[in-house]
Amino acid sequence: MQHDNRGLPLTTATAEAAAAYDHLITGYLTQRNDTASRLKTLFAADPDCVMAHCMKSYFSMLAFKQATIPTAQDSARAAQALGAGATPRERDHIAAATAWSEGKLDRAIGIWESILRRYPLDVVAFRLAHFVNFWLGRPGDMVSSVERVLPAWSEDTPGYASMLACHAFAHEEAGNYFIAEPSGRRSIELDPGDLWAAHAVAHVLESQGRREEGIQWVTTLAPNWAGAHNLQHHLWWHCALYKLEQGDFDSVLELYDTRFRDLAGPLTLESPDVYIDVQNAASMLFRLQRLGVDVGDRWVELADKAEARIGDCASAFTLPHWMMALIATGRTAAAERMVEAMRAYASGSGTVQAIVRVYGLPIAEAQVAHAAGRHVEAVVLMRPALGGMYRLGGSHAQQDVLEQLFLEAALKAGRAADVRLAVERVAGRQTLPPEQLIGWRKAARQVAVKDAASAVGQAPGRNVVDRVGTAA
């Protein structure tokens, strides 16, 4: 029996394997792109390390990709075969890995939280619960989880900077920016290369409209990101979002081509269909097009990958992004095939299946209707999903693109009440008024004009929305 570097028992015979386990977990926590080779080193040191099999299962699920689920299931079974010699905490990890690989995500979260009640230093259980809760749109659970666990930690505990990063991000997503920002900045002081902390503060700066600070924040920290995984692309996407808000569309496209979708550039994407990369790319192209910017043929490679992933619904929030690519390239038949595949997936049981059924599917159907010019139908389809579509996952900044999708359909449908609904939803969700958010300015002004006209008893016409048009 060995111990990990936080003092938790680890079932393995050698100090070499325990060190390899610590190296692996550090790599996971700090978003290194070599976790696969770190896992290989651990297996070489101890092929029967039960936590190695659990981590392999977890990593396979963290890809949020249908093709890697069988590996997750195989690894969970391999861990089960070693369960008799494992500690109770490790057996809980086996159960959580098994549940997740079978689609029972809520059960997995429940197990991780039960581990944390007994072992608040189990950073794997914590980090997985944190991350999965994020992708299920549960910021409240993210906050309560980190607030329960953090008192057991100190700056001397290995991985503390990563915990602070999670503290920052959980509170950012809950809207508690005054708690989030100092935690994120402290994490960066302890580890300037912590991308999750950089990301949490980037979100605070985005939410508060501190765009120039945001650009400085990302560009100043970027030299620390050598060896980091795809999260660095997402940070550059945030940088592009600040530039977009400033109206600097040339810089947005330059960042697109060189920093977060540089398919042939110095930061070549090894797996260009990773969910976060696809979300970055599609959501930015969608925003640019709404603003009338010519994005060239950038949609094509995304649409090719979308077609190849029809039927893969493992990442619920990526689905509307895949659909955007298919629709932008006029691939109507493929878009309809994707809807059919989503319908089949949604008929199954499981945490994500239910989310796709209630939120993902109506949005996809609305996208198809909107693309076909059936804008009223699109609005009617999407409206019931509005209140809960945050359950698809994604941050407030990412969810905004779905809000814009609804706004666009409402504008084209000429439904003033739905335009107002969209604008007021964003007004209630964002720190900044919609008039200061690109993509929302014109619609916000339309609503304001109509209000002003109503106030003086001079209605400006049957439908202001129709007359003003749809440009953002």
Q: How far is the CB of 296 from Fe ion (least distance, A)?
A: 25
Q: How far is the CB of 39 from Fe ion (least distance, A)?
A: 26
Stretch of residues binding Fe ion (CB under 5 A), selected from 161-169, 190-198, 358-366, 390-398:
390-398
Distance, first Cα to last Cα, the chain: 62
Torsion (CA) 349, 319, 245, 210 in degrees, nearest 10? 30
Q: Which is nearer to Fe ion, 238 or 309 (CB)?
A: 238
* Number of residues assigned to the chain: 472
Pattern 404-433, binding to Fe ion, x per CB under 5 A?
A: ------------------------------
Q: How far is the CB of 207 from Fe ion (least distance, A)?
A: 11
Stretch of residues binding Fe ion (CB under 5 A), selected from 54-62, 94-102, 392-400, 407-415:
392-400
Q: Which is nearer to Fe ion, 222 or 372 (CB)?
A: 222
What Å distances lie between residue 319 and 270, 309, 454, CA to CA? 21, 10, 40
Looking at residues 228 to 287 of the shown chain, list those that interact with Fe ion (rule: CB under 5 A): none
Q: Which is nearer to Fe ion, 395 or 446 (CB)?
A: 395
Stretch of residues binding Fe ion (CB under 5 A), selected from 28-36, 254-262, 352-360, 387-395:
387-395
Q: Which is nearer to Fe ion, 12 or 395 (CB)?
A: 395
Rounded distance between C-alpha atoms, residue 455 and residue 4, angstroms: 67
Q: Number of residues in contact with Fe ion, rule: CB under 5 A?
A: 1
Rounded distance between C-alpha atoms, residue 243 and residue 226, angstroms: 23
Q: Which is nearer to Fe ion, 94 or 276 (CB)?
A: 276
Rounded distance between C-alpha atoms, residue 316 and residue 296, angstroms: 27
Q: How far is the CB of 372 from Fe ion (least distance, A)?
A: 32
Q: Which is nearer to Fe ion, 367 or 395 (CB)?
A: 395
Conformational region of residue 12, where left means phi above 0, alpha means psi within -120 to 50, and beta covers everything else: beta
Q: Is the dihedral of CA 353, 358, 359, 361 positive or negative?
A: positive
φ, ψ dihedrals at 9, nearest 5°: -60, 140
The alpha carbon of residue 395 and the mean position of all alpha carbons in its chain are separated, in whole angstroms, by 6
Amino acid at the residue 262:
D
Q: How far is the CB of 165 from Fe ion (least distance, A)?
A: 13
Six-digit token pair at 302? 């995304």
Q: Which is nearer to Fe ion, 240 or 288 (CB)?
A: 240
Rounded distance between C-alpha atoms, residue 51 and residue 21, angstroms: 8
Pattern 343-382, binding to Fe ion, x per CB under 5 A?
A: ----------------------------------------
- The answer to whether residues 311 and 323 touch, using CB atoms and an 8 Å cutoff, is no
Q: How far is the CB of 119 from Fe ion (least distance, A)?
A: 29
Q: Which is nearer to Fe ion, 283 or 395 (CB)?
A: 395
Rounded distance between C-alpha atoms, residue 22 and residue 15, angstroms: 11
Rounded distance between C-alpha atoms, residue 367 and residue 69, angstroms: 28
Under the criterion CB under 5 A, does residue 395 sit at the interface with Fe ion? Answer: yes
Block residue for tokens 């080779």: 37
231 CB contacts (<8 Å, ≥6 apart)?
31, 195, 196, 199, 276
Q: How far is the CB of 234 from Fe ion (least distance, A)?
A: 6
Stretch of residues binding Fe ion (CB under 5 A), selected from 263-271, 394-402, 404-412, 422-430:
394-402
Q: Which is nearer to Fe ion, 31 or 395 (CB)?
A: 395
Stretch of residues binding Fe ion (CB under 5 A), selected from 143-151, 207-215, 225-233, 395-403:
395-403
Q: Which is nearer to Fe ion, 99 or 195 (CB)?
A: 195
Q: How far is the CB of 163 from Fe ion (least distance, A)?
A: 19
What Å distances lie between residue 438 and 213, 233, 395, 434, CA to CA? 18, 22, 17, 8
Stretch of residues binding Fe ion (CB under 5 A), selected from 64-72, 114-122, 291-299, 391-399:
391-399
Residue showing the smallest CB distance to Fe ion in the complex: 395
Pattern 115-154, binding to Fe ion, x per CB under 5 A?
A: ----------------------------------------
Q: Which is nearer to Fe ion, 2 or 230 (CB)?
A: 230
What Å distances lie between residue 261 and 215, 249, 297, CA to CA? 18, 15, 13
Tell me whether residue 63 is exposed, middle or buried, using C-beta atoms within 10 angstroms of its C-beta: 0 to 12, 13 to 18, 19 or more.
middle
Q: How far is the CB of 308 from Fe ion (least distance, A)?
A: 25
Q: Which is nearer to Fe ion, 133 or 395 (CB)?
A: 395
Rounded distance between C-alpha atoms, residue 223 and residue 242, angstroms: 19
Tell me whether residue 281 is exposed, middle or buried, using C-beta atoms within 10 angstroms of its C-beta: 0 to 12, 13 to 18, 19 or more.
buried
Q: How far is the CB of 181 from Fe ion (least distance, A)?
A: 15
Q: How far is the CB of 299 from Fe ion (least distance, A)?
A: 22
Q: How far is the CB of 265 from Fe ion (least distance, A)?
A: 22
Name the residues that contact Fe ion, by CB under 5 A.
395
